[in-house]
Structure 1
């Protein structure tokens, strides 16, 4: 005689069924220690690791070996070098530097050229800030402390919306975009991007949702409750100690 399952047995059975895939997924999570230990990383990068938490960032972005990834506004290359080691020789990193940034400061172009020459799996990508021309569909894009720049006064109105749409188009269906930036006061929108180099988290969510992204996760990885969020991020007293948000968006598909 087959007895009906009691609620307790049913719960136990469901847990048993779901536990194995979760455990398997966790077991397959990449180990980023090799990326951090990459001998090509300069000492200045390693000195910043304590506050920039690179392993945690790569884990939040779910970067895996063999992926095609983009660094949107690579700056001096801190994130690009991490990504190059994390995706490995079978992966590819597209390091985007806005033409406007290179025109403003030659060092941006020099830094990009140096990384392009140093890493076989890194390709330099240039172009307008609002129209990053990544040459291949990407699994992941990361942009760190740069999204607010889309709303600086030198750039035309609508630059943020155009760039958000371009990032959406650059990703494969199901691909992810990770945004880390300096927190502005709640409700301030993009109004403090130029004066304080900060942006309201809600404004980022609104812009990327408008572009078609779905907010998948947020992290307190860079949360600093002691930051009043009222000071320019380059002020010596607060530089490197700002409250920042980390958001992961997914392109449906």
Structure 2
């Protein structure tokens, strides 16, 4: 995976000692291999068949997930990302898996899939261990504590669809910013629309206009730290609905890691 760093790299401090300069320790370089236990976890065996396309280890490395992190899976859908995070953060971390009420109202199975995912990581009595379900309006997840990382995969465009109340996108983006700890990261993966597609592309094709999304996020205070071509598929003309059988699972997608300043 090639990752293009957008923000300035962290400067390495030098201290002189007896005239010799000592280099500070290098920042940790995240790799897909460190998440092997999360990717191969038996509790997500149903997900294995889509791993070749969704590249779970690379996604976790791009998101820079650490053991002990408190992470929000914003709009968890079927729970694919939640199940990855459950092992990646470890027993001393937490995953808050948010399913919007609007999604459940449209497709009741989303509630069942949320419950099933939480059960996979519960104790013998059925009590959540490190995966905790949340439900609420799409712009009001009700995170119970500040988060280290929020991940939203292939759902950011839903903030702009016509079924959502006016102002949903602005309210949700402000919420995401406020919900992170200072220095926390927001990871966004979504289907790319053709340039200039605007809100119509989100509503009609379930694709996100890159510039529209980036402007909304940076206006809210986020800084784009890195962009990955992990899900780049340039052969996608970006003009078909993502549920079209001919393109489903093969869409061109962007992957961003944005940072809330310290």
Query: Normalising by the residue count of structure 2, what TM-score does the alignment of the two structures yield?
Result: 0.86
Number of residue pairs the alignment of both structures matches: 236
Deviation sequence 1:137-180 (CA, Å, 0-9, x none): 10000000000001111111210010000111111000000000
Aligned runs of 1:109-148 on 2, under 5 Å? 109-119=111-121, 120-148=129-157
CA distance in 2, matches of 1:252, 1:70: 18
Aligned runs of 1:208-227 on 2, under 5 Å? 208-227=217-236
Other-structure match for 1:175:
184
Unaligned runs of at least 5 residues, structure 1: 1-12
Question: Please, which of 167, 174, 178 is the counterpart of residue 158 of structure 1?
Answer: 167
Deviation sequence 1:189-245 (CA, Å, 0-9, x none): 222111111011111111111211111111100000100001001101100000000
Other-structure match for 1:107:
109
Other-structure match for 2:254:
245
Q: Helix, strand or coil for the counterpart of 1:218?
A: strand
Task: Name which structure has the greater RCO, CA cutoff 8 Å, separation 6+.
Answer: 2
* Runs of at least 4 residues off by over 6 Å: 27-30
CA distance in 1, matches of 2:184, 2:34: 21
CA distance in 2, matches of 1:155, 1:124: 22
Using the TM superposition, give the Cα deviation of residue 54 of structure 1 relative to its aligned residue in structure 2, in angstroms: 0.5
Structure with the bigger percentage of helix:
1
Unaligned runs of at least 5 residues, structure 2: 1-15, 122-128
CA distance in 1, matches of 2:73, 2:197: 27
User: CA RMSD, aligned part only?
Assistant: 1.8
Query: Normalising by the residue count of structure 1, what TM-score does the alignment of the two structures yield?
Result: 0.89
Using the TM superposition, give the Cα deviation of residue 27 of structure 1 relative to its aligned residue in structure 2, in angstroms: 8.2
Deviation sequence 1:52-89 (CA, Å, 0-9, x none): 01111000100010100000010010000000010010
